[in-house]
Structure 1
Amino acid sequence: MKKIFLLLIMITGIGAAFAQNTGKRWTEERVWKWYNQQPWYCGFNYIPAYAINYTAMWDKTSFNAAAIDKELALAGQSGMNSLRAVLQYAVYADDPEYFLNTLDKFMAICEKHHIKFIPALFDDCSFGIDNDPKIGRQPEPLPGWYAWAWSPSPGHSLVVDSATHPKLEKYVKAVIGRFKNDPRILMWDLYNEPTNGGLGSATFPLLKKVIIWARAIDPVQPLTIGIFDQNPRLNSIITDNADLITFHDYGNKDNVIKTIEKLKQYNRPMINTEWMNRPWKSTVSEIIPVFYQYKVGCNLWGLVNGKTQTNLPWGHRPGDPEQKLWQHDLYHGDFKAYKTAEIDSLKMFIDKSKTIQYIQQHQHK
């Protein structure tokens, strides 16, 4: 009996130790081991040209796998290997099974074109007049208005109403739980630009809960939230909880270098999850060499210009002076490159990174 009792104590101790090592922020050693096994990720933020917002991308009335397949084939031709897109809670709430199955279909298209998926579960950004999403057919573009009908997720009303948070918890745990071991997902971006869209610190309670909910699922993919402004309280929440450091930077070459050097203090791998603003000199020719030199992954905005009209500058309204230089996007709606030299440059640096990785892998054999 004594031996059995001691054995039970040992098993219980092992179980407790295992529990203590799961559901926690990754150690520096673990995240660096993960990152060093990855290729150099060079990709884009994706919303299909047919979609005026992320509700339209995922909704039953408009999800278009064939259109997505054609656009991701275009991305694959350049060698881009990562894609970030915001999910929409409202579509999930309408029909959870449909939403999860649609995510699976979308990831199958990504995998077909050798592109890893970075899902963002929530988003506070708002560029139009409606801060809460509505499922079903979406408005048509208002010419001259940047991201006229952008739809946050889950919507500002739900963010500030803590009574709705148990429903949001089910969403987070259902989505991450379904795909927690899926190799098609690169990492989980828990919340795009929290506090943006005028919410400010009202987002903090939900943001902190989302981190806890995601940790409880303990996926094999790392968790992150992008640093995008100089809010010290927000950035403290992010840097204390993210497995790897992700950030947005639409500035010029000098600004991006300063950002990377500053973020080195956290001793964790870095991936940029938003960049490219041509009028601000955040261009392929200027910025890609920086990310390549520092071995920082990067995802520009965006792929094919469409209903979001993100070729316009932020805040652009009908009647404003025309800005001929596109702010975002690599391709026209007919798949013609906005600037062929940009695509050539992307291919060149992606190919260089593949060659170096190949040499390094075979040197260790």
Structure 2
Amino acid sequence: MRSHRKQQLIGLLLLLVSFTAVAQTPRWTEEKAAQWYKQQPWLVGSNFIPTDAINELEMWQADTFNPQEIDRELGWAEGLGMNTMRVFLHDLLWQQDAAGFTKRLDQFLGICAKHHIRPMLVIFDSVWDPNPKLGPQHPPVPGVHNSGWMQSPGRKGLEDPAEYPRLKAYVQGVVGKFANDQRILAWDVWNEPDNDNKPAYERVELPYKADYVNKLLPQVFEWAREMHPIQPLTSGVWRGDYSSLDKAIPTAKIQLEQSDIITFHSYDWPETFEERINWLRAYNRPIICTEYMARPAGSTFDTVLPVALKEHVGAINWGLVVGKTQTNLPWDSWKRPYVLEPPVAWFHEVFYADGRPYRAREAEIIRNLTSQANGNSGDSGTN
């Protein structure tokens, strides 16, 4: 009874602070979204973080930002015919040094443009550690998948309405700065917003997290829209039945109703991947899969990427180069770290840290399909 009462009070508080959340800037029409998509090549890429960064903070902070490494790795991606990357930002970077962060982001976009890559930038993310901290980041936990990734906003930023003006300043600052920048493909406003991160962070996660998210997420869309970006806004559905709005869970319903273009995640077998695409056709908007490819789970380049090409659906796999995130290790490494016994096959990632493909045949498949779709000649994708 007490917990129910607490939940009611939380909901009331969030309702009071979110009365401005009703969108006044409309999302794109179906026609505008379709026209935008017609101007794009077949979109293929990876979720990108350089091999020497354990998380978003280490990628972007001044002391650890490494444009030379980014340039090297994006060159390998270009060699496969990849033309986009999905890249995560963080609100604490704006709080720490907005001008410096903006300068580094501009430099990153310049490197992307050099390699004919237009990234999708992720503004917020609800996955993994809910207590992010600026400064030096801890080293990887041996044998554990993504042991240092940080949520944005963290638990404090999400549960405390007094933090919301700061979050709004971040969203509008970064979107506003690059609202007319053709180098950016799209804005992914929030990655897996209602992820409760069980079992990895279950003990420290925010109770009733989805309640907070469902109040804040529409505001985030509106904050970004108020900057009138030329790029579309999206947030990818990732769980439950979203074949119709009536069947979608509350967070997914918000995502589908607010997104200019539809994005989704699928680490499933190709049959399920295709089923999800068929579900999303009902919304009559361009579709991009922003996370896929987990080899032992049945999601592979060999089987999924040809489906994406056939359906003219964008495909952004998780992971480009193996490194400090250790996402070549499976999710179950949170329960059983792979310290002595390696997995049978890499979970994610395309390249070793020296630029060699994990599987030469995979690299050939990606290169052939992107060349077939977009006319890229490509090279070996290696040093």
TM-score scaled by structure 1? 0.88
Q: Which residue of 2 aligns with 1:69?
A: 71
Deviations 1:90-138 (A, max 9, x none): 1110111001111100000000000011000000101xxx422111111
Q: Which residue of 2 aligns with 1:291?
A: 308
Q: Which residue of 2 aligns with 1:144?
A: 143
Deviation at 1:281, TM superposition (A): 1.3
Paired residue type of 1:238: Q
CA distance in 1, matches of 2:375, 2:225: 36
Contact 2:192 2:237 in 1 (8 A): yes
SS in 2 for 1:226: coil
Q: Which residue of 2 aligns with 1:219?
A: 229
SS in 2 for 1:115: coil
Divergent runs of 4+, >3 A: 317-322
CA distance in 1, matches of 2:211, 2:322: 33
| 1:180-329 matches, cutoff 5 A | 180-196=179-195, 197=197, 198=205, 199-230=209-240, 232-317=249-334, 319-320=337-338, 322-329=342-349
CA distance in 1, matches of 2:179, 2:259: 17
Contact 1:306 1:333 in 2 (8 A): yes
Paired residue type of 1:62: T
Q: Which residue of 1 aligns with 2:61?
A: 59
| 1:100-111 matches, cutoff 5 A | 100-111=102-113
Paired residue type of 1:256: F
Contact 1:40 1:295 in 2 (8 A): yes
Deviations 1:226-284 (A, max 9, x none): 11111511111011111110001010110001000011110111011110000011001
Paired residue type of 2:361: A
Q: Which residue of 2 aligns with 1:114?
A: 116
Deviations 1:56-78 (A, max 9, x none): 00111201111111011111111
The structure where helix makes up a greater share of residues is 1
Deviation at 1:41, TM superposition (A): 0.5
Deviation at 1:354, TM superposition (A): 1.6
Contact 2:218 2:258 in 1 (8 A): no
Q: Which residue of 2 aligns with 1:161?
A: 160
Contact 2:210 2:251 in 1 (8 A): no
CA distance in 1, matches of 2:93, 2:173: 13
How many corresponding residue pairs? 332
CA distance in 1, matches of 2:283, 2:29: 12
- Long gaps (5+) in structure 2: 1-23, 198-204, 241-247, 377-383
TM-score scaled by structure 2? 0.84
Aligned match for 1:335, one of 339, 355, 359? 355
Q: Which residue of 1 aligns with 2:20?
A: none
CA distance in 2, matches of 1:60, 1:265: 44
Contact 1:53 1:149 in 2 (8 A): yes
- Long gaps (5+) in structure 1: 1-21, 357-365
Contact 2:78 2:117 in 1 (8 A): yes
Deviations 1:281-335 (A, max 9, x none): 1001000000000000110011000001101111304545531201100011121
CA distance in 1, matches of 2:366, 2:271: 20
CA distance in 2, matches of 1:45, 1:96: 24
